[in-house]
Amino acid sequence: MIDKLLFYNKNYFAFYKDLKKKEGKEIISITESLRNFDNALEVNKHTQIVDISSLAGINNIQYNSESVFPQFPEETIFIADNSFKKLLEYELRFCFQEFQDINIVGDFEVVDEEEFIGKQKKLKHKKIIDLSNDDISDFTKSFVNRIYGHDKFKADFEELIRNFRVFNKLGEHKILSIFLMGDSGVGKTEVARAIHKSLKGKKKLAKINFGNYSSDNSLNSLIGSPRGYIGSDEGEIFIRVKDSDTGIILIDEFEKSNATLFNYFLDVLENGKIVSSLAEEIDLNGFIIIFTSNISKEDFPKRISPELRSRFDYKGFFTLLNEKDKRKFVEFRVRDIIQKFNKSYSTELPTEINETICNQIRVEKFENMRELNKNIKDTFVKCVMIYTAESE
């Protein structure tokens, strides 16, 4: 008989998996070994832990288990979801000597609620609701200075965050959701980036591009595959949020998604949290979610369900910038690039290079802001190369 079967709390699984990964151990499912018992012989007891939760979903658990377990190397570690504890304790009574909740695995660290909560506390995001009155004033100024054109939206946004902060504190408004429409390259995604930077984010913005989420398996890609599936890793939205340090999520090209994901976000906006397929939760209270789409105002009611439309706190349509605003954007962008260049390289550029670069960019030729930004970069590099050659 095998020494013991360890049961984990599914709410702690992501933390437990991360803990084992740092120790050089991978958690694998027993599914492949059930399909072919010879696969059990290939398990590395030093680097792999076998999750047998999927046994709970098959027929003849006892027969299959007594056939496959002798194939595993001695001292292999076996774990299972404790929601199946009663069933597996009975069906596997002839396979395991002992059944134990995970507290200590061999010489590994303790995995308990206090440790899990400590891990969660590290997941700290700078949010709009946490800013002081002075901080919110600085945030607003920074945001307005980073967005060129779209004056109505900037005014509306200031009112939105003021109301959101009040009603969030009253417990009536968990997530501020904004849906922005308009042609590609008019500055919709820049709104999320401006919020992220104005909150003084040092890590990456949490961005999900739904242009990659049109398949039937899209929900699994977003929130992770159910336990027992091959490759049941963490979903992209959990990875992106954990890797960011601000309470802002950008969902780009939202219209390219499908009904399943629309319904998922309907639940997110309703309950104020994201939930993975493994039942891990991240509280999004105080977050801002920016949804962007290239659809027109006329297509908006055709593509987005009434239930979801009603959940968006703000629906806005972005148009092309005029030449004056594009010129302001160029001046800001060039100044920003020069400052970054001077910090990164030992050669400091002369102040007159700013005007030289700006004068070479013909903003009237560009409608798409991405193309304009590309032209700014190209012009900057050419001017720097000329300056460097002349200095030698």
For the segment 303-331, the average pLDDT, to the nearest whole number, is 89
Higher-pLDDT residue of 69 and 115 is: 69
For 90-121, write each residue's pLDDT tens digit.
Answer: 999 999 999 988 763 333 344 444 444 454 44
Name the pairing type of β-strands 77-81 and 2-8. Answer: parallel
Q: State the Cα–Cα distance between residues 69 and 37, nearest whole angstrom.
A: 9
Model confidence pTM above 0.75: no
Torsion of CA 211, 214, 217, 223, to 10 degrees: 40
The domain segmentation of the chain, as residue ranges, is: 2-101, 133-318, 323-390
**258 three-class SS:** coil
> d(Cα 108, Cα 110) in Å, to the nearest integer?
7
CATH architecture designation of domain 133-318: 3-Layer(aba) Sandwich (3.40)
Exposure class string for 185-224: b at 16+ Cβ within 10 A, else e? bbbbbbbbbbbbbbbebeeebbbbebeebeeeebbbbbbb
Give pLDDT tens digits for 351-383: 889 889 999 999 888 877 778 889 999 999 988
3-state SS class at 205:
coil
∠ CA 239-191-304 to the nearest 5 degrees? 75
Distance between CA atoms of residues 387 and 392, nearest Å: 9
For residue range 226-251, what is the model confidence (pLDDT) as tens digits?
A: 654 444 467 889 989 999 999 999 99
Q: Minimum mean pLDDT among 12-26, 92-106, 269-283, 287-301: which range?
A: 92-106
CB atoms inside a 10 Å sphere around CB 134 = 8
